Structure formats: structure tokens, C-alpha cells
Structure 1
Amino acid sequence: MENNTLLARLLDDVIAYDGPNAHRIAHLIKVHGYARAIGLLEALDETTQVTLEAAAIVHDIGIKICEEKYDGRSSGNLQEKEGPRIARELLSNLGFPESVIDRVAFLVGHHHTYHDIQGLDYQILVESDFLVNLQEHQSDIQTIKHTYAQIFRTESGKRFCSMQFGL
């Protein structure tokens, strides 16, 4: 199956999984949009681009099970614990290559870990999630500037952050 079709089917499955939760679905759509654009602008190879986009689609897949298992809690560390198994299952059911599944599971299991970021897919996923979270949380300009300095490394991510928040 062609990569864009696989990604579209994954998105369809995740929307079904997360529904009915308009906020969570809108969040993943926005993160995926930024990740896709940044990955293309940073000229990722095709496998890394597909891996990044799949990870962006499923990055918060652990929230629902966390809320059920942990009395409504879904902190980053709990998401990193519970999300990879569900991500693996979704990608496996669609026939993604095992190497992509392994990397996506790793990214889901680390997307709230901001030290020792290795790989452009990991970096771009983190930047994309921050672009959306800073906006959704209506972060103040000091928080945005601090995050920009500490997190953003890609030229495209820096540009998007600067343009979005007027830095």
C-alpha cells in the first residue's frame, strides 16, 4: 500500500479510537500538519518522513487508556508508558514495516522526554507538539521564548515558532 494511503488509514483509525473527543483529534491533526510541513521543508528521506508523520498521528494515543487506568490522569510519563503498545497495534494492523513500527513506538514512548533527542524525526515531533501546545495553552511570551531557546533546533521549526508567536 502506498505511504500516503497508509497514513490516511492510520489517521482514520486514530480518529475512530480517540472519538468522540474533538479537542484531542484537533490536537493530533495540528501536530501532524506541522510535522508533515517541517519534515518536507527539512528534506527528510521518505522513510523518515513516513515515520515522523505516523508518530505525529499517534503521539498521544496513550491518553485514553491512561485516563481509564489512572483515575483520569494522563501525564507525559504515563503516556510514554502506555502509548507504544497501542501505537504498535494500530500500525501493525495496517501493515506498516516493522522498522517503522519500532521507531514510532520509540517516539511515542519518548515524546515528552526533551533531553538526548536523537534523530530529526524525534526533534521535529517535539517541535510540532510544542508549536501546538504553546498555542493551545495560550502560553505567555516568556514561556514561548524559553521554549524556543531550549527546544527548537530545525530551521523550519524555528521559523514557524517565530512567525506564529511574533518572536
Structure 2
Amino acid sequence: MIEYFGTDVRRINHALKVYGYAKSMGELEKLPREEQEILEISAILHDIGIKEAERKYSSAAGMYQEIEGPPVAREILSKYTISDESKDRVCHLIGNHHSYSKIDGADFQILVEADFLVNIFEDDIQREQVEIIEQKYFKTKSGRKFIESMYMNAE
């Protein structure tokens, strides 16, 4: 991912932060080992489609990331030993990580929550909107704990 994004430090940092939250949350939620691995890979690669989206559509919009991310991720993952089922799941998560109505598992839920935790800070989202995000999208115990301690309990 770092090699792919090159000098785009902002996107590298975003991916690493989402990865850090997702890894921690997956461990706190006691995901099974294989699901944890899928979550971690998906977290580090979740925005991998941005470069292609910008090249093809002149936009980094989520819908374009979802279209362009899976093929790029599949190419990157082809260099590693990972089962076809795991690759398919990673690509499913990357290809839907902005489609919250499609959340279909703990790995997907945690990825979405971790991305929100980072985006709230990076996009300077105000407390009122954070409350709505928490109520609408946060389901895990660890995610709720993180969002409340980071953004709701601050003075």
C-alpha cells in the first residue's frame, strides 16, 4: 500500500490509522483469526481504489473507490499467499466500504467504524454530527467505547 501510494503521505497515514483502529477493535471484539486477518488486510487496502478513481473519473468519491478498489487490491494480493475465499472477502469489503446498508459481518462493521473514527478527525466533523454517526453506524462495543472517549467526552 505504501509502495502503491508513493509520496501521497496523507493517504498512507489515513490507511495506517484505519488499520490501527481496525486491528485493535477486531482483537477487542475477539474475532476469529481468519476474520481478523481479512479485517486487517481490508483496512490497510480499503481506499486503494482512490488513485484509479481520480484517474478515470476525476473524483475520489466513495462510489468510484468501490468500483476501482477491488481490481487493484486483487492485483496486490496476488503476490501473497492468501486463500481465494479470503481474497474474495477482502475485495467485497473494499468494494462496499461506503455502502453501509451492505454490512454483513463483524469484519465489515469494524472496518466501517474504524474508517469513521479516522474520518471524524481528518474531516473535523462536529460533535452533533458525531452523535448521529454513532447512533446510526456504530454497533460494536469497542467502536462505541472509542468514539465516545475520543469525541464525546472531550471538553
Instruction: Pick the TM interval, shorter chain.
Output: over 0.9
1:116 and 1:65 map into 2 onto residues whose CA distance is 23
Pick from 16, 22, 45: which aligns with 2:9?
A: 22
Give yes or no for contact 2:22–2:39 (8 Å, CA) kept in 1.
yes
Per the alignment, residue 10 of structure 1 pairs with none
Describe the SS at the equivalent of 1:99. Answer: helix
Describe the SS at the equivalent of 1:94. Answer: coil
Per the alignment, residue 129 of structure 1 pairs with 115
Instruction: Determine if the alignment matches structure 1 residue 165 to structure 2 residue 136.
Output: no
> Which blocks of at least 5 consecutive residues in structure 2 are unaligned?
none
**Cα offset for 1:15?**
0.3
**Cα offset for 1:69?**
1.2
Describe the SS at the equivalent of 1:60. Answer: coil
What is the letter of the counterpart of residue 166 of structure 1?
M
> Which blocks of at least 5 consecutive residues in structure 1 are unaligned?
1-13
TM-score normalised by L of structure 2:
0.96
Sequence identity (%): 44
1:96 and 1:44 map into 2 onto residues whose CA distance is 18
Give yes or no for contact 2:127–2:152 (8 Å, CA) kept in 1.
no
Equivalent positions of 1:1-167 (< 5 A) are 14-71=1-58, 73-167=59-153
What is the letter of the counterpart of residue 135 of structure 2?
A
2:53 and 2:111 map into 1 onto residues whose CA distance is 21
1:94 and 1:48 map into 2 onto residues whose CA distance is 17
Matched length: 153
TM-score normalised by L of structure 1:
0.90
Q: Cα RMSD between the aligned structures?
A: 0.8
1:159 and 1:39 map into 2 onto residues whose CA distance is 13
Deviations 1:121-163 (A, max 9, x none): 0000000000000010010011100000000000000000001
Give yes or no for contact 2:49–2:70 (8 Å, CA) kept in 1.
yes
**Cα offset for 1:166?**
2.5
**Cα offset for 1:88?**
0.9
